[in-house]
Amino acid sequence: MIVDMNMQEKDRFRITSHPIIPVVKRREIRFSFNGKEMKAYEGEAVTSALFANGIKVFGHHRRDNGPQGIFCVNGQCSQCMVIADGIAVKGCMTVVKEGMEVRSCDTVPVLPEADKVPGFKEISTLDTEVLVIGGGPAGINAAIELGKLGIEILLVDDKPELGGKLTLQTHTFFGSKEECYAGTRGFDIARLLTDTLGDLETVTVMLDTAAIGAFYDGSVGLYGKGGYTLVRPKAALVACGAREKTLAFPGCDLPGVYGAGAFQTLLNRDLIRPTDKLFIVGGGNVGLIAGYHAIQAGIKVVGLVEALPECGGYKVHLDKLRRLGVPVLTSHTVIKAHGGEHLDRITIARLNSGFEPVEGTARDFEVDTLLIAVGLSPINELYDKLTEFGIESYKAGDAEEISEASAAIFSGKIVGRGIARSLGYDVEIPPGWDATAQTMKSKPGIAVEYKPERMELESYPLIMCVEEIPCNPCVDSCPRQSIKIHGDPIMGLPVFEGDCIACLKCVDICPGLAINLVKRNYDQDRGTSLLVIPFELDDGDLIPGRKVNTVDMEGNPLGHGSIVDVRNPLLIQREGLFRSKSPMMTL
């Protein structure tokens, strides 16, 4: 039956189960693309609705007929422009509606016909003490600090929900537990922050609302569901985050070549499964984490290239990929993307010390998706305009300096209190905050060699944390206070000293999945030990008794073991917090 075929086709590009993200049932609606009727879910972006229907080429450019798809899925580029109900829009920033007619934008868009002469509309105005632009980790935390003092805040965000890029993060956060929610998953942090903000009476939030310009009279233009409004704040905070950098190479414009952040938005926000396999360029945290998110969604990561001799991201993120068998090639880059209408093949090559491709090292991979993760640029055009027109303005988070979300949380808190002080409110900025913010921004230190220690204890953790990063939730997790950090309390490397009751709390909380637990003498006859490892993927293959190949921390083969049991979440802190499952196996 046609309906069933449609169902299968629909599910092919949707994520219907996920080890971490709850898949919520949504209402189905109908729209059309170039006259063909299609199904979508209520509330999703046009871009995602098209991808869910297998449409990855949205149209062709008027200048050279070049195929157009997506690049940023963040409202920052214009690759995904389509005509929706007669108006040219960015597909990623437009919610699909029942009966919407979506068409390719193959020519210069034309104004809709009008039978009367249009007139100017009245423009409404608003007043507020502080305008916060951007509801990500920095903006929300600034608004919370200001709102706690009873200061009138208007927070605007151009997306339909608060949280910014936290909403895309399925991994548990780094940082320190008491200061920035370390050990909690990014999308849960977004909800916790949104709840806190919702309790503050003087904070007004306008979603789907973009701050689009600043003017000489001190006003800021907002455009959202209610139309265009001018607001006159006493101070403004730009916390708009960052946009993904592009990389130029032949074929970089092909549909199928897009940002790693764009991919995470499709995958983790809209539960779209855009491909079966992909390749990644860029070994910073964004590229490494995007690769891990792909594997969580059942997508094969064919490889990752990094132009520098070392990946810039955290080693724990890199090791997660290597343990799952992803080839990571440093001193390599993508030199060409091939395809007619859509990417179907890439060419990579090794780079010499002058970053020139080495002749004879080119290799091709058949992939239809290439993720670009070559860095971020601050979104701060508005800050420049606000400052130019004399509006008291501040920056926080990635808009100020590209860093981790944990740093953005802190940056928002500090700048929020700073704004309050400049408005004459009597509030202190605790002396330690700035140092903590700087710590969160720290680049990883030099990795030391990991030496697994055999201990005489019944049970003990193997802490494979060998590179200094700002992270310490394991220390607090141990009820015996046996995990200690010597040196800097956040940056230092944790060590196990003392006794262990095998409670597994450290295994559960480590954001890097870098702690395993050994229970010695598990099977005395065979002389085998039990090893408990964290696991955040689809657990369909984890069948007790199954023989598995084992690898070391960096993914090198070790031997094999067999799965003894799969332990379900133990550490449910509150409803809605999802923990990893841990297979137990003998070695």
Partner 1 sequence: MQEAEEGMVRDTSAECVTDDTIICRCERVTAGEIRSEIRAGIRDMNVLKATLRTGMGACGGKSCTELILKLYEQEGVDLSEVTLPTNRPFVSEIPLSAFAGVEEGGGE
Binders of partner 1 in range 453-482 (CB under 8 A): none
How near is the Cβ of 201 to partner 1 at its closest, in Å? 30
460: amino acid identity, one letter: Y
- Candidate ranges 57-65, 145-153, 196-204, 525-533; the one touching partner 1 (CB under 8 A): 57-65
Q: Which residues ranging from 239 to 278 are in contact with partner 1 (CB under 8 A)?
A: 243, 245-246, 248-253, 277
Site of tokens 């970089």: 252
Options 28, 178, 364, 453; binder of partner 1; rule CB under 8 A: 364
Q: What angle do CA 128, 130, 131 make, to 5 degrees?
A: 90
By CB under 8 A, tell whether 382 contacts partner 1: yes
User: Three-state SS for 421?
Assistant: helix
Residue 271 vs 304, nearer CB to partner 1: 304
Does residue number 360 form part of the binding site for partner 1 (CB under 8 A)? yes
Q: How far is the CB of 115 from partner 1 (least distance, A)?
A: 8
Q: How far is the CB of 197 from partner 1 (least distance, A)?
A: 24
- Full DSSP string of 424-442: T------HHHHHHHHHHTP
Gyration radius of the chain's alpha carbons: 25
Answer for which of 214, 399, 506, 585 binds partner 1 (CB under 8 A) is: 214
Under rule CB under 8 A, which residues in 409-438 are in contact with partner 1? none
| Residue closer to partner 1 (CB basis): 67 or 175 | 67
Helix (H, G, I), strand (E, B) or coil at 292: helix
Question: Crossing angle, helix 186-198 and helix 137-148, to 10 degrees?
Answer: 30
Please work out the total of residues on this chain that contact partner 1, with binding judged by CB under 8 A: 74
CA 472-284-301 angle, to 5 degrees, is 105
In three state form, how does the secondary structure of 483-549 look? EEECCCCCCCCEEECCCCCCCCHHHHHCCCCCEEEEEEEEECCCCEEEEECCECCCHHHCCCCCEEE
Provide, rounded to whole angstroms, the least separation between the CB of residue 173 and partner 1. 28
Asked whether position 64 contacts partner 1 by CB under 8 A, the answer is yes
75 touches partner 1 (CB under 8 A): yes
Asked whether position 3 contacts partner 1 by CB under 8 A, the answer is no
| Contacts to partner 1 from residues 79-108, by CB under 8 A | 79, 81, 87-88, 90
* Least distance CB 213 / partner 1 (angstroms): 4
**194 lies in the binding site for partner 1 (CB under 8 A):** no
Q: At closest approach, how far in Å is the CB of 111 from partner 1?
A: 7
Of 25, 63, 451, 526, the one binding partner 1 (CB under 8 A) is: 63
The span from the CA of 110 to the CA of 232, in Å, is 34
Q: Give residues 112-131 in contact with partner 1 (rule: CB under 8 A).
A: 114-121, 123
333 vs 477, beta carbon nearer partner 1 = 333
Cβ-based nearer residue to partner 1, 302 or 566: 302
User: Is residue 217 close enough to count as binding partner 1 by CB under 8 A?
Assistant: no
Continuous segment of H or E residues that includes residue 388: helix 381-388
- Element spanning 567, H or E: strand 557-567
Measured CA to CA, the distance from residue 580 to residue 584 in angstroms comes to 13
CB of 362 to partner 1, least distance (A): 4
Q: Which is nearer to partner 1, 360 or 557 (CB)?
A: 360
Q: List the alpha helices (DSSP H) in 281-367.
A: 285-296, 315-323
Scanning 48-56, 147-155, 214-222, 484-492 for contacts with partner 1 by CB under 8 A, the matching segment is 214-222
Q: How many CB atoms lie within 10 A of CB 225?
A: 9
Residue 216 CA to residue 531 CA, distance in Å, equals 65
Local structure of 376: helix, strand or coil: strand
From CA 184, how far away is CA 413, in angstroms rounded? 19
Window 393-412: residues binding partner 1 (CB under 8 A): none
Residues 156-175 that bind partner 1 (CB under 8 A): 158
Q: Which is nearer to partner 1, 332 or 413 (CB)?
A: 332
What is the CA angle 555-558-562, rounded to 5? 105
Q: How far is the CB of 486 from partner 1 (least distance, A)?
A: 41
Among 36, 363, 421, 486, binds partner 1 (CB under 8 A): 363
Q: Which of 31, 67, 66, 65 is nearest to 48 (CA)?
A: 31
For the chain, the distance separating the N- and C-terminal CA atoms, rounded to the nearest angstrom, is 50
Q: Residue 72 or residue 297: which is nearer to partner 1 going by CB?
A: 72
* Nearest-angstrom CA–CA distance, 427 and 415: 12
232 belongs to the binding site for partner 1 (CB under 8 A): no
Q: Indicate whether 212 belongs to the interface with partner 1 (CB under 8 A).
A: yes
For residues 311-340, which are near partner 1 according to CB under 8 A?
327, 333, 335-336
Toward partner 1, which CB reaches closer, 377 or 422?
377
Contact by Cβ (8 Å): 144, 197:
yes
Least distance between partner 1 and beta carbon 351 (Å): 10
Smallest distance from partner 1 to CB 359, Å: 6
CB of 78 to partner 1, least distance (A): 3
Pairing of strands 370-372, 257-259: parallel
Q: Given the structure tokens 């983790």, which residue do they identify? A: 268
